[in-house]
Chain A
Amino acid sequence: MWAGAPLALMWTTPLWFAPALCLAQNPFAGNAQAVADGQKLFVQSCAPCHGRTGEGAQGQAEGMRPPDLTRGVFKAGRRDDDLFRVISDGVRGTEMPSFKSLGGEQIWRLVTFVRSLSATAVVLNGDPVNGEALFWGKGNCGNCHQIGTRGNRMGPDLTRGGRRSNAKSLRTSIVDPNADISPGFAIITVVTRDNQKITGLQRWLDNFSARIVDESGNEHTYLRDEVKSVTREMRSTMPDNYGKIFNDKELNDLVAFIVKTRSEANSQ
């Protein structure tokens, strides 16, 4: 009985009503009108959390961190029907509700618009091979960043760097690292009761403790009631002169390399 309902759907409804089927195709893929229609729907239904641009807004609910939809990489999966499923069913345990009531056709228009966000996000036509050489060579980025099993962990792990940021924001992060500091990479200074000063990266900082990565890459937890002070500076440890070290083309090459690590991670 339970399995009967989806089977009945197959025979009586158009294919776009059955997102669970692997064969579901987006009937509007690439359709400019559907992108425009989808944008209107997006503003009404999605912008409260994801922001009007899809880059994620800080909503009314405290602690809400809606994903950036402009990167072209989604937790839900890679196919249009993965996006359809998430919009239609919602994500249990998160603030993402079901939008099934919009109807299949409207959901496909939304999918088409969301897809267009990453298509229109800045594409930097760099050379990933040269970018890789710059990353490990001239830029010495591996001193702080890890990609795969190579490099260090002082800065954000860039193995899936492109999954977190689109090409535009990756480039901004390289030339202006203080513009938007990745969560957990602010600088913390702890002063102990015997006046030792420890400065390092914020692995976490809460009302009762701080965990710091020191200059040697070692991690320590400090309990606030056992130290004299804990202060946080909203600046990055990353040098802010990469805009001078690299020229425009080299920056694009670097970004292309980091974005490529995303694609490789996806294909695993």
Chain B
Amino acid sequence: MRTVAWVLAALSVAAQAQVTSETLTKAQQDPNSWLSYGKNYFGWRYSPLTQINTSNVAGLAPAWILATGVPGNNETTPLVSGDMMYITGPSNTAWAVDLNTGKKVWSYSDYVPSGLGLCCGTVNRGFAMLGDKLFKVNIQSTLVALEAKSGKVLWETMIDDYKKGYSNTVAPLIVKDMVVVGTAGAEWGIRGYIDAYDAATGKRRWRFYTVPTAGEPGIETWGGNSFKTGGGSSWITGTYDPELNLIYWGIGNPGPDMDGSVRPGDNLYTCAIVAIDADTGKLKWYFQMTPHDVHDWDSIGDPVLLDATVDGKKIKAVAQANRNGFYYVLDRTNGKFIAAKAYTKVNWADGIGPDGRPILIANKEPTPEGNLVCPGLGGGHNWSATTYSPQTGLYYFGSTDGCQLFTVVKQEFVEGKQYQAGDAIGVPKEPSTGSVIAVDPATGTTKWRHELMSSTSGLLATGGGLVFTGDSEGYMMALDAKTGKVVWHFQTGGPIRAPAISYTFRGKQYIAVAAGQNMLAFKLP
């Protein structure tokens, strides 16, 4: 009888699991589900669940392991709704998973065409969900809507021409009745944008170009015709403030990456955070962290939304651990610069001025022979998910700590071909290391720093006083959110590149993460 009751309870949960715009706005009030990339619109990735906590986490063990059988880097943020988990894999794959058993309920896959311009594999960072639909991008620059219960394709829209170097890896963001996505391809001389599509039909509502064209504001920051190949990708999911009706999105590097001489100027809106009106797609404000970037320092780290107390006054802030080595706090109502602080070794700028611009140190551009610059090409903090815990009041992110030798070469642009004009290689005998860093979100002051052999995967903070992360050697670990001390670890058998999530099923708290080709769900015995 008890089993039947559980099943009925599970079914009723599933039946209720109709995700609406309202549900997403109030996502933080529902600790049991995980309905979007960042858990809530503010991008906190904070689960208030307390069942797994610092006192008992040592007993955390796998409940089930799903072998997807698909090789490649697994970067997905799983979604959990009702009794189902929805995950995407590399190479245009996806599955619905039964939370009772960890078995696949349905599978989705699409052909990966040849001729894609990809820096980093056929990766995918997850689904978005609205109503009875799931939304994901495919690597060949399409957006697809699936029926959640069956995996059936409801519509598929072409975002752009993959033969021109456009590709898509981002987890979409649902805003009202729209599916918002960004593009990858800044190493292929694309002109980037952020798109919004009608969730019901797949028809495009608006497009915001991240690089202006002739006659538009910002064009003066691009010498000659360089804007045409200006890059400005948008490959990590943004955040949304429903009250201000603004979407915040991090913008990638200018093209070509290392040769700044062919694109004189600040190169707006590359390496910036932009705030866009959700209804019109029009720019409300921008803040550029790295004007005229030549080190591939995309500003794509999570633009997390939180309240910061500055000079005794509470302000609505947007914070970002930027790839250039500095942590930034801005006023999210107007983009005004509030504070910035280096969180790793930086040798290219002597701090950030009161106007928010870096105080440059001379001769740090890439050279034909190779110029030593810190941080390296990947940053600092790169794309891996960050987390804010309202419990500790700290913001957590991972960092690669080290330097690289940046080179530059002359390169002609050919449409659809890689257009990087340089490279960065490691420094012999000085391998980069990694760390998980906890900062005061208002100032960027480091509260603790846990040093590791290399940078970690994305983070998850929980109400149990824990921060979860994984490493490329396959270790899943939990850190004490107050001190940074590792309090649990588990060898998963495959490299961890994805962030973990947490949810409740049948009264038990779970931690789930993709590792290697597998999806693992942990719970207490």
Contact = CB atoms under 8 A, between A and B. Distances in A.
Interface of A: 43-45, 47-48, 51-52, 57-64, 88, 90, 92-95, 97-102, 178-181, 205-208, 234-235
Given A100-B114, A179-B428, A93 B119 contact: no
Nearest to A56: B425
Interface string B464-504: 00000001110101000000000001010001010000000
B334 interface: no
B184 to A, nearest CB: 11
B495 A52 contact: no
Interface string B450-462: 0011110000000
Given A178-B429, A207-B452, A92 B71 contact: yes
28 contacts: A43-B411, A44-B414, A44-B418, A47-B418, A47-B420, A48-B418, A52-B423, A58-B404, A58-B424, A58-B425, A60-B120, A60-B296, A62-B382, A62-B497, A93-B71, A94-B71, A95-B73, A98-B112, A99-B115, A100-B114, A179-B428, A206-B471, A206-B473, A207-B477, A208-B475, A208-B491, A234-B430, A234-B431
A94 B454 CA distance: 21
A172 to B, nearest CB: 11
B97 interface: no
Given A100-B115, A101-B113, A63 B425 contact: no
User: Most chain-B CB neighbours within 10 Å: which of A59, A100, A178?
Assistant: A59
B102 interface: no
Interface residues of B, number: 49
B270 interface: no
Nearest to B407: A52
A101 B430 contact: no
A107 B122 CA distance: 21
B318 to A, nearest CB: 25
Contacts of A44: 414, 417-419
Interface in B328-384: 377-378, 382
Given A48-B420, A97-B121, 14 more contacts: A43-B418, A44-B418, A52-B409, A58-B377, A60-B187, A62-B497, A64-B120, A90-B114, A95-B73, A98-B115, A178-B429, A206-B471, A207-B475, A208-B475
A117 B457 CA distance: 36
Interface string B106-141: 000000111110111110000000000000000000
B73 A61 contact: yes
Contacts of A64: 120
Contact of A62 (B378, B411, B453): B378
Contacts, number: 100
B72 interface: yes
A44 B409 CA distance: 12
A95 B120 contact: yes
B281 interface: no
B417 A61 contact: no
A90 B428 CA distance: 30
A77 to B, nearest CB: 20
Nearest to B115: A101
A97 B419 CA distance: 17
Which 8 A-B residue pairs are closest in the complex by CB-CB distance? A101-B115, A93-B71, A44-B417, A100-B114, A61-B120, A98-B114, A234-B429, A101-B114
Given A44-B417, A58-B424, A207 B120 contact: no
B223 to A, nearest CB: 23
A234 B430 CA distance: 7
Contact of A181 (B116, B429, B491): B429
A186 to B, nearest CB: 9
User: Most chain-A CB neighbours within 10 Å: which of B120, B296, B471?
Assistant: B120
User: Most chain-A CB neighbours within 10 Å: which of B114, B419, B497?
Assistant: B114
B390 interface: no
A92 B91 CA distance: 10
A1 to B, nearest CB: 18
A44 B415 CA distance: 10
Given A234-B429, A234-B431, A93 B114 contact: no
A19 to B, nearest CB: 13
Given A57-B423, A234-B431, A62 B452 contact: no
B301 to A, nearest CB: 15
A75 to B, nearest CB: 16
